[in-house]
Amino acid sequence: MVKLLAPSILAGDWWNIGEQIEACIRGGADLIHFDVMDGHFVPNITVGPEILSHIRKRVSLPIDAHLMIENPDRYIPEFVKAGADWVSVHIENVPHIHRTLSFIRELGAKAGVVINPGTSLSAIEEALHYADYVLLMSVNPGFSGQRFIERSLERLVLLRDMRDRLNSDCLIEIDGGIKEENIASVVRAGADVVVVGSGIFASEDPEGQTRKLKELIFS
Ligand code: DX5
Ligand code: ZN
């Protein structure tokens, strides 16, 4: 059974981002979640491939690039070249999801399809046959530090059932508002990969907090 913890470094202290990433790694992080926002698809602007490549040079854990940008096809090769191992795109703005996920795989990365809280799960049913992972948003994308949308727990169960029914082996990742209070319940409901931003970096001790969350994942 895979259970992975992915710190979302967007919520980190960017003056000391290298140190903060190292703290998460010492605490047992499994992959680094890298949120890319363009100010168009979502109302916030973050980082791009250039910054990712600097992290790649120092970090051997897989980097999970979550693309919240318009026209992601245009930028996917740059992200893979910069060192992203996992690349996910939103179903809400990708018209040819089979083409885009196949493209990511051809470039040698794991391909993920992301779904927003307001989008029916049926929109990604077909993609479960060829995605490596589904990223279920449990907040509306754009910012870290938002409150977990409770309905996401039911959606996790429905998604897991859908995956089993289709005999798909794609992983289920969840992102947004996960803290020590609810991490065990999202894992119980079906999450294989858990993204945590402010639930790690709001702490004075990101290493200890990562370790605690890892224990809760397996509790
Ligand atoms: C939201 C991002 C999330 C977010 C997670 O658009 O995709 O990855 O940074 O942060 P928390 O855990 O604070 O909700
Ligand atoms: Zn994210």
Domain boundary assignment for the chain: 4-217
* Ligand 1 mutation target, pool 68, 87, 195, 203, most atoms within 8 A of CB: 195
Distance of alpha carbon 22 from alpha carbon 206, whole angstroms: 9
Catalytic site residue 85?
no
* 37 Cα: distance to centroid of ligand 1 (angstroms): 11
Find the 143 Cα to ligand 1 centroid distance in Å: 6
**40 marked as binding residue:** no
| pLDDT tens-digit readout, 163-189 | 999 999 999 999 999 999 999 999 999
Cα–Cα distance measured from residue 219 to residue 215, given in angstroms and rounded to the nearest whole number:
6
What is the value of ipTM here, to two decimals?
0.99
Q: Report d(CA 45, CA 69) in Å as an integer.
A: 9
pLDDT of residue 1: 77
Mutate to test the pocket of ligand 1, among 144, 180, 210 (most ligand atoms within 8 A of CB): 144
Residue 214 is predicted with a pLDDT of: 98
The DSSP bridge partners found for residue 38 are 45
- Contact assessment for residue 177 and residue 200, using Cβ atoms and an 8 Å cutoff: no
Which residues contact ligand 1 via a Cβ below 6 A?
8, 10-11, 33, 35, 66, 139, 141-142, 144-146, 175-178, 195-199
Give the pLDDT score at 132. 98
Give the pairing type, strands 32-37 and 4-7: unpaired
175 is catalytic: yes
pLDDT on residue 175 = 98
Digit-coded pLDDT (tens) for 130-153? 999 999 999 999 999 999 999 999
Q: What is the pLDDT of residue 144?
A: 97
Q: How is the beta sheet containing 4-7 ordered, strand by strand?
A: 4-7, 193-196, 171-175, 133-137, 110-115, 86-90, 63-68, 32-37
Q: Candidates 3.20.20.70, 3.40.50.300, 3.40.50.880, 1.10.150.20; correct CATH number of 4-217?
A: 3.20.20.70
- Greatest alpha-carbon pair distance for the chain in Å reads 46
The CA distance from 137 to 143, in Å, is: 12
Share of the chain above pLDDT 90, in %: 99
Residues with CB under 5 A from ligand 2 (ion): 35, 66, 175
Catalytic residue among 35, 64, 132, 192: 35
Closest C-alpha residue for ligand 1 atom 6: 141
What residues of the chain score a pLDDT lower than 50? none
Rounded to whole angstroms, the Cα distance separating 42 from 36 reads 10
pTM for the structure as a whole? 0.98
Q: Torsion over CA of 185, 187, 189 and 194, rounded to 10 degrees?
A: 100
pLDDT of residue 157: 98
